[in-house]
Amino acid sequence: MAFTALYANKLRSLLTMLGIIIGVGAVIAMVSVGMGVRSNVQESIASLGSNMLIVSPGSSNRSGPRGAAGSKTTLKYEDAQAIESKVRNIDYVSPNASGNYQIVNGNQNWNTSVQGVTPGYMDIKSLSVQSGSFITQEQMNKRERVAVIGTTVAENLFGSENPVGKKIRVNNQPFRVIGLLESKGQSSMGQDQDDVVIIPLTTAQERVLGITYVNSISIQVSNAKYMDQVQEDVEILLRQRHKIVGGKEDDFHVRNLTSLMETMTQTTTMITLLLGSVAGISLVVGGIGIMNIMMVSVTERTREIGIRKALGATFNNIMMQFLIESVVIGVIGGIIGIFLGCGISSIIAKVGGFNTVITWAPIAVSFSFSVGIGLLFGILPARKAARLDPIEALRYE
């Protein structure tokens, strides 16, 4: 019965559904974009490693006046060594000093990031070497000019040749390539992880960067439950070493990647909800469209309602007839909207070049929402129809 009535007014039914279709489609597309952003952020933080603490120079108090430029220079390799030897429940400590330099092989040159690291870096970043070897402690101690390069660098400087054993120039100094990294591809943020040159930290500090400090110290904690304890121990130790007493501001700060991840996840969830609820508003507007058309439909069909009532239709019979109609609009609109939303989401993924994540939750929620809206916004017109007086309805022209 409901289908007959809807089919009799095909164009109008479709236009009425359009509001719901767009609403559901928008919710699904927006939420899938939001979820995509979230999973990208989560992946990229996770790719930095789990159970990681990162010590950076400078105060964490961003809003206050930043310390003198000198405060950036206070974090030392010795701090990393002290952390490794004094703080418990740590797997690796990896200090890092880096800069961008031109790398030259013969007449080929390539600009890339040069990372000064310790041997532990390989484990902490889960890197592996496909040819040659990684930096050793001995090379560290002797400040040797050796380099391990990523595949992108190798391709640009050596083509298909094996670079191991070859000479390159980093910042105009001769380096020997001792290893070629296994390719890691793009990071979830779209960064090429193979575009890197790795050299011993000490070499980087003295021979390339000309500095005595490190840019950061990464600490891999052995177990998630020790994160807070290790963070505290590291802070106490560094305050001692940097002679920071009383109320003086720290010249370093320790970030917990797990809690960073939690904050980011929270933020992106918020964004997703925001996008979803903005789209949800269009769903409500669609519902009002249903109500509007159903109202018109009830008025137009006053006579039909009168006839049905004269033949014995009760309040509930008429109520159900119109409610089913508006719910059917909601259901069909919802289903079409789901396909539309999934379609838009995959187009965004293709064109925008980033992941969108379609999950069941927004589909189920927006679908039941559209059914609910059909029901809710159908109630008023259906009541209006069901309450009509049969005689007056029959007299209606």
Partner 1 sequence: MDKKDAIAIRLRDIKKIYKMGGQELAALNGINLDIKRGEFAALMGPSGSGKSTLMNILGCLDRPTVGSYELEGKEVAHLSDDELAVMRNKHIGFVFQNFNLLSRISSLENVALPLVYAGVGASERRKRAQEVLEAVGLGDRAEHLPNELSGGQRQRVAIARALVNNPEIIMADEPTGNLDTKSTKEIMEIFQEMHGRGKTIILVTHEPEIAVCANRQLLVRDGVITRDEGKGVVLDVV
Q: With helix as H, strand as E and coil as C, how does 54-76 read?
A: EEEECCCCCCCCCCCHHHHHCCE
Instruction: Give the pair of three-digit tokens for residue 319.
Output: 């109520």
Residue 226 binds to partner 1 (criterion: CB under 8 A): no
Which of 213, 226, 315, 396 touches partner 1 by CB under 8 A?
Answer: 315
Instruction: Give the pair of three-digit tokens for residue 228.
Output: 């807070």
Nearest CB to partner 1, comparing residues 8 and 68: 8
How far apart (Å, rounded) are the C-alpha atoms in residues 28 and 47?
28
Task: Classify 58 in phi/psi space as left (phi over 0), alpha (psi -120 to 50) or beta.
Answer: left
Q: For residues 139-158, which are near partner 1 according to CB under 8 A?
A: none
Q: Would you tell me how many other CB atoms lie within 10 Å of the CB of residue 208?
A: 21
Residue 2 binds to partner 1 (criterion: CB under 8 A): no
Q: How far is the CB of 313 from partner 1 (least distance, A)?
A: 5
Which of 304, 342, 346, 379 touches partner 1 by CB under 8 A?
Answer: 304
Which of 38, 76, 145, 309 touches partner 1 by CB under 8 A?
Answer: 309
Q: How far is the CB of 378 from partner 1 (least distance, A)?
A: 20
Nearest CB to partner 1, comparing residues 263 and 316: 316
Binding string, 249-288, against partner 1, x = CB under 8 A?
----------------------------------------
Number of separate helices (H) and strands (E) present in the chain: 13, 10
Q: For residues 59-78, which are near partner 1 according to CB under 8 A?
A: none
Q: For residues 378-397, which are near partner 1 according to CB under 8 A?
A: 390-391, 394
Instruction: Kindly determine how many residues on this chain lie close enough to bind partner 1 according to the rule CB under 8 A.
Output: 20
Nearest CB to partner 1, comparing residues 9 and 89: 9
How far apart (Å, rounded) are the C-alpha atoms in residues 260 and 41?
11
How far apart (Å, rounded) are the C-alpha atoms in residues 380 and 108?
76
Which of 68, 245, 311, 351 touches partner 1 by CB under 8 A?
Answer: 311
Which of 224, 281, 296, 310 touches partner 1 by CB under 8 A?
Answer: 310
Sign of torsion, CA 289 294 295 300?
positive
Binding segment for partner 1 (CB under 8 A), chosen from 61-69, 71-79, 88-96, 314-322, is 314-322
Residue 11 binds to partner 1 (criterion: CB under 8 A): no
Which of 143, 241, 242, 303 touches partner 1 by CB under 8 A?
Answer: 303
Instruction: Give the pair of three-digit tokens for residue 1.
Output: 């019965």
DSSP run (H or E) holding 170? strand 167-170
Which of 5, 14, 211, 260 touches partner 1 by CB under 8 A?
Answer: 5
Q: How far is the CB of 377 from partner 1 (least distance, A)?
A: 24
Residue 99 binds to partner 1 (criterion: CB under 8 A): no
Which amino acid is residue 28, in one-letter code?
I
Q: With helix as H, strand as E and coil as C, how does 307-341 read?
A: HHHHCCCCHHHHHHHHHHHHHHHHHHHHHHHHHHH
CA 87 to chain centre: 33
Q: How far is the CB of 297 from partner 1 (least distance, A)?
A: 13
DSSP run (H or E) holding 376? helix 360-386
Nearest CB to partner 1, comparing residues 107 and 397: 397
Which of 312, 351, 353, 360 touches partner 1 by CB under 8 A?
Answer: 312
Residue 372 binds to partner 1 (criterion: CB under 8 A): no
Give Cβ neighbours of residue 323 (< 8 Å, ≥ 6 apart): 375, 378, 379, 382
User: Which residue shows structure tokens 């289903």?
Assistant: 335
| Contact positions vs partner 1 (CB under 8 A) | 4-5, 8, 303-304, 306-317, 390-391, 394
